[in-house]
């Protein structure tokens, strides 16, 4: 079973920030939080990952709470191309060849 809980769907207006929540209350100290997204008819795409510090890259920002039991993925200026299913996954980083355990994810729809 997936170790994370995400809302099944959310809408976001184009140009606004999209904040995607994820609960991972049973996360272990050596587990990272990974985010992937899957655009329709494509394979999952890696977005970002982090352990306990906030992380930012060209695609998104990841905010992890101090107790690490939840996190938020932020898409700063959502575009129509960001419409996708977003998956939050916890995984031991040292298990570099380990499988990814996907849940159902959050269907994000960006509207004009």
Partner 1 sequence: EAGVAQSPRYKIIEKRQSVAFWCNPISGHATLYWYQQILGQGPKLLIQFQNNGVVDDSQLPKDRFSAERLKGVDSTLKIQPAKLEDSAVYLCASSSGRANQPQHFGDGTRLSIL
| Residues making contact with partner 1 (CB under 8 A) | 2, 32, 34, 41-46, 49, 87, 93-94, 96-97, 99-105
* Least distance between partner 1 and beta carbon 75 (Å): 18
Residue (17 or 45) nearer to partner 1, CB? 45
Please name the residue that has the structure tokens 């609960």.
23
* Least distance between partner 1 and beta carbon 83 (Å): 17
Task: Give the C-alpha separation, 96 to 86, whole Å.
Answer: 21
Task: Give the C-alpha separation, 96 to 56, whole Å.
Answer: 21
* Least distance between partner 1 and beta carbon 59 (Å): 12
Residue (14 or 51) nearer to partner 1, CB? 51
* Least distance between partner 1 and beta carbon 15 (Å): 28
Query: 35: which 2 tokens?
Result: 């985010």
Residue (12 or 32) nearer to partner 1, CB? 32
């Amino acid at each position: 079973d997936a170790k994370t809980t995400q809302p099944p769907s959310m809408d976001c207006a184009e140009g606004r920030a999209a904040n995607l929540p994820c609960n991972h209350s049973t996360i272990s100290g050596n587990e990272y939080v990974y985010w992937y997204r899957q655009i329709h008819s494509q394979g999952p795409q890696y977005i970002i990952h982090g352990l306990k510090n906030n992380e930012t890259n060209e695609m998104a920002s990841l905010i992890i709470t101090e107790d690490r039991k939840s996190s938020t993925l932020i898409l700063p200026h959502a575009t129509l191309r960001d419409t996708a299913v977003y998956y939050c996954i916890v995984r031991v980083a040292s298990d570099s060849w380990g499988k990814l355990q996907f849940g159902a994810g959050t269907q994000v729809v960006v509207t004009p």
